């Protein structure tokens, strides 16, 4: 690691009623990958938004290369050599790669027009330097999520960034794409660029990070050399306690078959059959694009299937959408909570009850007492941290948003709960709480299907695991036979 490239000293930021940052210090060295770790709501995003010019601190200093700088806007951050690669990709889809890389800083010809040829030429040099195997004149809309992230990295280098922030960069990547990203991070390190790396996947930190700074409740907790710490210590620093049995699973005798799927096909799904028992947590593993989410949408009627049958409690059912499935006791908590699950510009209470409006609205009459009873029951049951049920849900942490989304569907009292990537992008404390809720539901006889790309999560929580590959179920693994190797064998197409 080289000299100190960034110091953030005594950073304060207050929002109405909330101290988001309270005297936070952070340091980054040139050529270092420094993890920023903490539960959702710990203040990580606020600190990064202060560095990126999105928020202005109430107090504190930002020092880059030994000089204090004032960052009051995103252009100020660019000028200071700070580039942020957000979790939600910020590329413009209908522009080319070159146009995205030079967006807002387009080179000009002598006549003052945009020099497209120079943009393409210089962008291609950047792309080739990272072995990205893309053409600079290609439209971004045709790229995968991983390739779009590479464009964001190239964009950061184009502004001569000294500091690159990566926020949950692997959340939507395959294992192969993750390895490619890690190779590029090593290249950035070798060029002396300092990287702030935010991830809830602790195993990644031990792969690529040099140091880790932990935050909790808007405050600095500790900085550790990664080689001198371990996951248990980091979890204890994050949540203020040891988590004990992380997966919270007690196993019990399962009931009769409650859901049977026979030869369902449609879209990405070539053909799939499986059974789910009462009180069972059934895992679905597979690589990105294997067809797991698509299979569940075919079952629930969100996508039109081309064939197959679905039975609940031995009776054949036919769903034409979410409401039909809900009446039969089957609900789906979608993978993308922000696009498919929540209304971010509305309140916690609104989101919590939107799936059960018929429970308290009769004609033009609204039973406010019943509405508040539902809201308060599930806010308490899900241990949702919010200053008020009237808080806009977009202002909550990712973990609390996820708990609202699950609570929204639990309010419908389902017999069968499908959870698609239920812990993606949330911290270990919130994960442990969701595992505990899943375990409690299974003990009460609720049947759960859990789609997850995190192997330890499936192994820790499931009674059985089905594995999919290219639209087909290639394997079924019982709990006594769970190993990552066996699951990956089936996920790679082995039968």
Please say if the pLDDT value at position 435 is more than 80: yes
Measured torsion, CA atoms of residues 277, 281, 286, 290, in degrees rounded to the nearest 10? 50
Which of the four pLDDT bands, split at 50, 70 and 90, describes residue 396? confident
Cα–Cα distance between 68 and 471 in angstroms, integer?
A: 55
The residue-averaged pLDDT of 416-432 equals 85
Residue 454 confidence (pLDDT): 82
Section 81-93 average pLDDT: 84
- Of residues 27 and 432, more confidence is placed in 27
Q: What is the pLDDT of residue 246?
A: 67
pTM for the model stands at: 0.67
Q: What is the pLDDT of residues 149-170, one digit of tens each?
A: 788 888 877 878 899 999 888 8
Binned at pLDDT 50, 70 and 90, residue 33 comes out as: very high
As a whole number, mean pLDDT of residues 355-364 equals 88
Q: Which of 42-56, 158-172, 257-271, 473-487 has the lowest mean pLDDT?
A: 158-172
Structural tokens at position 258? 């409650």
- Asked if 89 and 145 touch (Cβ cutoff 8 Å), the reply is yes
3-state SS, one letter per residue, for 153-178: HHHHHHCCCCEEEEECCCCCCCHHHH
Percent of the chain with pLDDT over 70: 98
Cite the DSSP H helix spans in 241-388: 292-300, 322-327, 348-353, 368-381
Q: What is the pLDDT of residue 28?
A: 97
Buried b (16+ CB within 10 A) or exposed e, 254-273: beebbbbbeebbbebbeebe
The pLDDT score that the predictor gives to residue 241 is 61
Give the pLDDT mean for 309-318: 95
Task: In whole angstroms, give the CA distance from residue 11 to residue 36.
Answer: 15
């Amino acid at each position: 690691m080289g000299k100190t490239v960034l110091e953030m000293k005594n950073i304060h930021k207050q929002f109405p009623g909330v101290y988001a940052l309270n005297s936070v210090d952070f340091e980054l060295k040139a050529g270092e990958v420094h993890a920023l770790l903490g539960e959702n709501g710990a203040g990580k995003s606020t600190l990064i938004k202060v560095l990126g010019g999105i928020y202005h601190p109430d107090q504190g200093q930002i020092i880059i290369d030994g000089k204090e700088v004032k960052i009051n806007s995103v252009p100020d951050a660019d000028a200071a050599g700070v580039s942020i690669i957000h979790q939600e990709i910020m590329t413009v889809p209908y522009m080319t790669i070159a146009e995205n890389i030079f967006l807002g800083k387009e080179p000009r010809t002598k006549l003052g027009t945009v020099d497209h040829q120079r943009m393409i030429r210089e962008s291609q040099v950047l792309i080739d330097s990272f072995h990205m195997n893309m053409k600079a004149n290609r439209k971004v809309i045709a790229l995968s999520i991983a390739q779009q992230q590479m464009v964001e990295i190239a964009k950061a280098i184009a502004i001569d960034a000294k500091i690159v922030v990566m926020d949950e960069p692997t959340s939507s990547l395959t294992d192969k794409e993750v390895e490619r990203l890690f190779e590029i991070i090593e290249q950035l390190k070798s060029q002396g660029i300092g990287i702030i790396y935010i991830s809830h996947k602790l195993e990644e930190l031990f792969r690529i990070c040099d140091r880790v700074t932990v935050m909790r409740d808007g405050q600095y907790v500790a900085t550790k050399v990664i080689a001198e710490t371990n996951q248990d210590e980091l979890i204890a620093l994050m949540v203020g306690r040891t988590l004990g049995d992380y997966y919270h699973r007690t196993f019990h005798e399962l009931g009769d078959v409650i859901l049977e799927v026979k030869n369902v096909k449609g879209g990405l799904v070539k053909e799939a059959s499986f059974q789910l028992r009462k009180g069972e947590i059934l895992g679905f593993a597979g690589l990105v694009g294997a067809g797991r989410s698509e299979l569940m949408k075919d079952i629930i009627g969100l996508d039109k299937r081309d064939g197959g049958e679905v039975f609940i409690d031995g009776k054949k059912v036919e769903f034409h959408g979410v409401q039909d499935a809900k009446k039969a006791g089957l609900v789906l908590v979608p993978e993308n909570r922000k696009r498919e699950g929540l209304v971010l510009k509305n309140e916690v209470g609104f989101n919590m009850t939107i799936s059960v409006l018929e429970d308290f609205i009769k004609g033009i009459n609204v039973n406010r007492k019943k509405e508040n009873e539902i809201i308060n029951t599930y806010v308490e049951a899900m241990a949702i941290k919010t200053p008020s049920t009237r808080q806009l849900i977009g202002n909550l942490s990712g973990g609390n948003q996820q708990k609202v989304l699950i609570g929204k569907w639990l309010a419908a009292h389902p017999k069968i709960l499908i959870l698609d990537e239920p812990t993606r992008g949330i911290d270990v404390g919130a994960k442990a709480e969701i595992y505990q809720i899943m375990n409690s539901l299974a003990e009460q006889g609720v049947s759960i299907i859990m789609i997850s790309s995190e192997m330890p999560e499936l192994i820790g929580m499931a009674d059985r695991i089905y594995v999919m590959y290219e639209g087909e179920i290639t394997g079924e693994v019982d709990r006594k036979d769970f190993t990552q190797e066996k699951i990956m064998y089936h996920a790679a197409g082995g039968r």
